[in-house]
Amino acid sequence: MSANIDRLFQEEFEKREKIGIEKGIEKGQWTLVKNMLSHGLTVEEISLYTGLSIDEVRRIAGKAE
Protein backbone atom coordinates (compact mmCIF):
# COMPACT_ATOMS: atom_id res chain seq x y z
CA MET A 1 0.00 0.00 0.00
CA SER A 2 2.77 2.43 0.92
CA ALA A 3 4.53 1.76 -2.39
CA ASN A 4 1.40 2.80 -4.28
CA ILE A 5 1.14 6.04 -2.31
CA ASP A 6 4.83 6.76 -2.90
CA ARG A 7 4.38 6.13 -6.63
CA LEU A 8 1.35 8.45 -6.77
CA PHE A 9 3.24 11.23 -4.97
CA GLN A 10 6.22 10.76 -7.31
CA GLU A 11 3.98 10.93 -10.41
CA GLU A 12 2.28 14.09 -9.12
CA PHE A 13 5.64 15.67 -8.30
CA GLU A 14 7.01 14.90 -11.78
CA LYS A 15 3.87 16.32 -13.42
CA ARG A 16 4.11 19.56 -11.42
CA GLU A 17 7.85 19.79 -12.05
CA LYS A 18 7.26 19.48 -15.82
CA ILE A 19 4.61 22.20 -15.71
CA GLY A 20 7.03 24.46 -13.82
CA ILE A 21 9.79 23.87 -16.36
CA GLU A 22 7.41 24.57 -19.26
CA LYS A 23 6.26 27.82 -17.64
CA GLY A 24 9.88 28.83 -17.09
CA ILE A 25 10.72 28.16 -20.73
CA GLU A 26 7.69 30.15 -21.89
CA LYS A 27 8.65 33.09 -19.63
CA GLY A 28 12.19 32.99 -21.05
CA GLN A 29 10.85 32.98 -24.60
CA TRP A 30 8.52 35.88 -23.78
CA THR A 31 11.43 37.90 -22.34
CA LEU A 32 13.65 37.12 -25.32
CA VAL A 33 11.00 38.05 -27.90
CA LYS A 34 10.08 41.23 -26.00
CA ASN A 35 13.72 42.33 -25.85
CA MET A 36 14.34 41.55 -29.52
CA LEU A 37 11.22 43.50 -30.53
CA SER A 38 12.34 46.46 -28.43
CA HIS A 39 15.64 46.44 -30.35
CA GLY A 40 13.78 46.70 -33.65
CA LEU A 41 14.03 43.12 -34.93
CA THR A 42 11.19 41.87 -37.10
CA VAL A 43 9.09 38.81 -36.32
CA GLU A 44 10.84 37.00 -39.17
CA GLU A 45 14.31 37.86 -37.81
CA ILE A 46 13.32 36.73 -34.32
CA SER A 47 12.03 33.48 -35.76
CA LEU A 48 15.29 32.95 -37.61
CA TYR A 49 17.49 33.68 -34.58
CA THR A 50 15.44 31.77 -31.99
CA GLY A 51 14.24 28.79 -34.00
CA LEU A 52 10.64 29.55 -33.01
CA SER A 53 8.02 29.48 -35.74
CA ILE A 54 6.74 32.82 -37.02
CA ASP A 55 3.30 31.99 -35.58
CA GLU A 56 4.85 31.23 -32.17
CA VAL A 57 6.79 34.51 -32.22
CA ARG A 58 3.59 36.38 -33.11
CA ARG A 59 1.72 34.62 -30.29
CA ILE A 60 4.43 35.54 -27.78
CA ALA A 61 4.70 39.08 -29.19
CA GLY A 62 0.96 39.50 -28.68
CA LYS A 63 1.47 38.82 -24.97
CA ALA A 64 4.36 41.29 -24.89
CA GLU A 65 2.26 44.20 -26.11
At 4-63, the pLDDT tens digits run 778 877 888 788 888 888 888 888 889 999 999 999 999 999 999 989 999 999 998 887
> Is residue 60 included in any domain, yes or no?
yes
> Is residue 17 included in any domain, yes or no?
no
- Choice between 65 and 60, residue whose per-residue pLDDT is larger: 60
> Is residue 5 included in any domain, yes or no?
no
* Residue type for position 37: L
Closest alpha carbon to 49 in 62, 36, 39, 30: 36
Residue numbers of the domain that contains 59: 23-65
Q: Is the pLDDT of residue 64 over 70?
A: no
> Is residue 28 included in any domain, yes or no?
yes
> Is residue 1 included in any domain, yes or no?
no
Q: Is the pLDDT of residue 65 over 60?
A: no
Structural domains of the chain, count: 1
> Is residue 7 included in any domain, yes or no?
no
Q: H helices within the chain, ranges in order?
A: 2-38, 43-50, 54-64
Length of the chain: 65
Cβ neighbour number for residue 52 with a 10 Å cutoff:
18
